[in-house]
Every structure is written in C-alpha cells, then in structure tokens.
Amino acid sequence: MKGSQAIIKSLTDEGVDVVFGYPGGVLLPLYDVIYDSDLKHILVRHEQCAAHAADGYARASGKVGVCIGTSGPGATNLVTGIATAYMDSAPIVALAGQVGTSLIGNDAFQEVDTIGITMPISKHSYQAMESSEIPQMIRSSFYIARTGRPGPVVVDLPKDVQEGELDYPENITIDLPGYKPTKKGHPLQVKKAAELILKSKKPVILAGGGVIHSDSSEELQHLSEMIGAPVTTSLMGKGCFPEDHSLSLGMLGMHGRKASNMMVDECDCLIAVGCRFSDRTTGDVNKFAPNAKIIHIDVDPAEIGKNVAVNVPIVGDAKIILSHLLRIISQTKGINNHDWTDYVRTFRASCMPRLSFDDTPLKPQQVIKEISEAVTDDTIVTTDVGQNQMWMAHYFTSRNPRKFLSSGGLGTMGFGFPAAMGAKVAMPDNDVVAVCGDGGFLMVCQDLATVKEYDIPVVVCVLDNRYLGMVAQWQKLFYDERISQTKLNAMPDFVKLAEAFGVNAYRVERPGEMKETLQEALNSGEPTLIDVMIDPDEILPMVPPGCGLTEIVGEYKVERENPDEIPYRPSAQETGGD
C-alpha cells in the first residue's frame, strides 16, 4: 500500500474515528485517501482550531485527539495548539505535511522546520523519511501521547513519503529505549508519606490535573475523608474533587478562593497530587505553605523539586500511589482531625464569595450563577482565557472530572470555542457550553462555520465587556488605571455575526435572562451563540505577581445574606455521623 494509506490504517488501528484538519498541497496524497475512508474528517477554518479541537476531544474523552495541518503556515498555525496541549498534558497527535524529502533544507515553497519548532513544545516529534517507517511511527506516537505524563506528539510527513509504497507489517512492536514511565511509587517513600500524614494535625490536599489523567478522583476523595484533609485544586485539577463537598476549598492561587489560599498558608502538611506548582498556583514560592511539610506525588520526575522544595517526593501514577497510601493509613488506629476540619468549615463560611446581583449591566458573578443553574453535572464547560476564565474557575461549581476544560499553562486566548467543538464531537450525549470573552472569541469566530456545517451543537456564551478584560484589570490595579490598548472600540454585533454563519444567536442584558436563554439554547440541539453584556468595571480580587497567597488585593465580595448560595453538601460529621 501507499504511505498515505498506511497513515489512515494506522489511525484506524488506534481506534481513531474522527480527525480535525485543514488540507494543503503536500497533503494531497493523504486527503485523496481520506476521500474514500471511513474516517470522519472535520474541516476547520483555521489550523489552530484543529489543534484546540483535538485537545478538547482528548480532555473530554481521555482518548488521543488527532489534528492535521499542511506544511509551512499550516504547521506553524498548529503550533499554539500543540504548545497549549503540552503545557496542560493533553494527549494529541499532530500530523503535519512536509515538502518532499529531496527539498528539505532548500527553503522550498511552504517549507518550515516543523521538528525544530515543535521539539521544545511536544512530548516527542517524528519525521518519516521512508514510507515503511509510518506504521511503527504512528503506533509509537499514540503510545507516547497517552502514557506517563500525557502530551502532544508531532509526526512530520513529507509528500513523497506519503506517495511511496510499503508492506504494512502484520505485527508492530513498540521499542522505545529510554522511555519507561514509572507507575508504582517507591514503597519506602509512600511509607514516609503515610507517616507524615499520620503525624499532621492540619493536612491539606492540593490536587492537580494529574488526578484527572490518572482517573484517581475516587481515591482522592477517599483519602481526604479518611484523614480529614480539605482539598484545594489547581486550575487543571478543577472538577477532580466535587466542589460542593464539605471538604472542598475551591481553586488555589492568584485568582483562587480566599479559603484555599488561607488554609494552604496555615496547613502543617501539604499533599500535592499531580500538580506542578505553577507560579499562578503558588504565588511567591518563598512564602508558599510556610508551615507545611510537603509531599509531592507526580508521574513526571522532572516536576519534583522544580518549583517548590518538597520533603517527600514520590514519582509514579497518582491512582496507584493513592491506593497504596490508603492501604497503609487504613491499617492504623484512625485519625481525628475534627478540630481542623471544623475550623476550616467555619472559616470557609465566613468568606463565601457573593454571587447574586441585580445590577445592569450584568455582574459576571450573576451570569455564572445562572449558568450554573441552567446546566447539569454532565455538562462539559470550556472557558477561554482572561477574566472569563478566572470568573468561571472562581465562582462555578464543578463536581466531576473532565467537565471543566481550560487552557492553564499557556493561557491561550481562543481556546474555549474550538475546545468545546472537540469536546462535543467526543461526547455527543453531553451538553457542551463554551464561556468566552469577546477578545478571545473574535480570534476564532470563523469556526462558527464549522459547527454549522457539521451540526455540532455547542453553546457559546460571549461575556461581552468590550475590553481585553484581564490585562485591563492589571492596568487598573497596578498601572494607575492607564488603559493602554485594551479597549476594544470597534467590535462586531455578535448576534448578527453568528446569524451570518447561520447560527442561532441571542443577547442577554438583564438579571434572570441568562438561565432561561441558556436552557433554551441547550434544548434546541442547535449551535448557538449568546452575547452577554457584562459590567466592564467588575474585577476579580487577586494576588499580585510576586506576592504570597494571603496578599489578596481588590474587594473580596462576601456573601452575607445568603451564605449557602454556593452549594455544599453536609459532611457525615455534620449530619450526626462519624
């Protein structure tokens, strides 16, 4: 068979049934085979959206997402999406076209060094120089992408390699010298961690995206309840622990909940699971968790000690290590940390953020409250980057893993909408809502054509304040309110823009309209845009860069009239149990 046929067979052998792509000259052999294949190809309107859609597909389903772009600008347009997936450990395989092997290095038309560009932002990059390499290369790419710490793998495919002939092997073995991810944590380290936990009086768990990747939410909740440790999460970990649980603190960090930041500052033992201690999570590392012994569980040894010095490092899969910890601790007499958990619950209740506002223009808190009321626990919510992202991370209650998708490490504006598109393709039975800002959505709005053409019924909520809100917020707080180049003066009418693509659209301007409009949009089964006019002056309290987690600036609006507004389920202790 030809190399292009081998690419498709390799993909289908890996269980791939859908890809997101955009063709080009050097990919003509591959797209000629796609024409007759059973593989569903979704033609996006920009390669960056293909990468984000594959990323959203992967995060929502746990499977490897696939995107395709041609050589030169097609490949460079994929780069932002590849880097986004790399920073957040999302497993995708990016197939890039390349000029013929005889032209590589000649500055040929649409030639770019895809391997050189993507090497630092991918888990691995391959370039096929012979057609016979394709089956092994693609099999290895999927294995690398989904094992250990997941991440993107790039496969560069010169045109003549796609056209060449090969004998497709009956058996393909994976031989990757030097690549053997550690799964089982060292037993002595696990024992040390258990001893440290048993001695602690004020334990806190910091859970990151690694908990979701390893499917260890159940073990995490069991450990939290067994040792009486409240749980805070990184942005990537949001949803790995139910945020209406009595031991949930919410997100930690620069834009985290006050209760999270303060309790991490007070704790005497911090158990970090699948978390890389990013600067947005820790603030000034010299002031981070100053009273705590730190246990760090992570599958990637490169993350151990990189940003924060730890007392007990454990390299391995979170699910396996948490299970091991549970077995050891369950054999002890038990832990009584009731004084600590009572204190945490009382403090948390004293600083519950306020959600209800009757103001016009709408406060984002009120909008998010109504979004929360309109969706179910099975709804997948994606966000863009900026204020919209941090408002959702701060105020939205997420209860299940793989239901809150956001660009954390790279902070990529334009992620939310195409990621929602990919998530809906992966999980067609789940409602999918993208919460975007007006600036970020305008970067990728052309893909309204894609959701219309392929009938992908996502609902896009554009929080419209006519500002690049997060940068403007920093200008207000730290640059004497000098609003430099963040006011979006000339913006389209988003309702008319969506309608121009044949997509349903509504505008929300007053309290009470969001819930009803979103429910109507979800019930319609049609792709829909909701333009939400919000207050441009509303800011989210934050920890300034370079400061400790307790040094929060901005008014932290606390709910005093309805302290139960953000739901919490009572603990067994509160209901009379043990």
Kindly report, residue by residue over 315-374, the tens digit of the pLDDT: 999 999 999 999 999 998 778 888 999 999 999 988 888 999 999 999 999 999 999 999
User: For the chain, what is the mean pLDDT?
Assistant: 94
Tell how strand 92-98 and strand 124-127 pair up. Answer: unpaired
pTM, full prediction = 0.95
| Distances in whole angstroms, Cα of residue 431 to Cα of each of 163, 425, 460, 519 | 41, 11, 12, 10
DSSP string of 465-496?
Answer: -SB-HHHHHHHHHHSTT---S-B--S---HHH
Task: Give the list of residues 6+ apart from residue 564 with CB closer than 8 angstroms, or none.
Answer: none
CA angle 385, 399, 299 (to 5 degrees): 70
Q: Which tokens sit at 257?
A: 């909940």
Tell which residue, 319, 405, 431, 406, has the closest CA to residue 60. 405
Residues 307-317: tens digit of each pLDDT: 999 999 999 99
First to last CA, the chain: 66
Q: Which of 109, 119, 129, 496 is catalytic?
A: 109
In percent, the amount of the chain with pLDDT more than 90 equals: 92
Only one residue has tokens 């995107």, namely 67
Q: Does the active-site annotation cover 159?
A: yes
Point out the catalytic residue in the list 63, 123, 159, 202. Answer: 159
Residue 250 CB neighbour total at 10 angstroms: 27
Cα distance between residue 392 and residue 379, in whole Å: 14
Nearest to 529 by CA among 543, 546, 517, 541: 517
Q: How many CB atoms lie within 10 A of CB 523?
A: 9
110 catalytically annotated: yes
Q: What is the pLDDT of residue 558?
A: 72
Per-residue pLDDT band for 513 (boundaries 50, 70, 90) equals very high
User: Which of 365, 387, 406 shows the shortest CA–CA distance to 471?
Assistant: 387
Which residue, among 518, 165, 213, 158, has the nearest Cα to 369 in the 3D structure? 518
* Nearest-angstrom CA–CA distance, 549 and 262: 7
Q: Give residue-wise pLDDT tens across range 132-145.
A: 999 999 999 999 99
Helix (H, G, I), strand (E, B) or coil at 179: coil
Contact 245, 570 (CB under 8 A): no
Q: Is the pLDDT of residue 578 over 50?
A: no
With 80 as the cut, is the pLDDT of residue 243 above it? Answer: yes
Q: 65-69 and 40-43: which strand pairing?
A: unpaired
Structure tokens belonging to residue 404: 């809150």
Catalytic status, residue 130 = no
508 strand-pairing partners: 532
Catalytic-role residue among 110, 136, 519, 573 = 110
**Predicted confidence (pLDDT) at residue 567 exceeds the cutoff of 70:** no
Residues of the chain with pLDDT > 70, as a percent, come to 96
Distance between alpha carbon 78 and the CA centroid of its chain, in Å? 18
Residue of 47, 219, 243, 538 marked active site: 47
Kindly calculate the radius of gyration of the chain based on its CA atoms and give it in whole angstroms: 24
Q: Is the Cβ–Cβ distance between 74 and 22 less than 8 Å?
A: yes
Please pick, among 137, 251, 470, 514, the residue that the annotation labels catalytic.
470
Is 14 a residue of the active site? Answer: no
If we measure between CA atoms, which residue out of 528, 529, 445, 536 comes closest to residue 489? 536
pLDDT at 560: 56
Per the annotation, the verdict on 241 as an active-site residue is no
CA–CA dist 40, 18 (Å, integer): 5
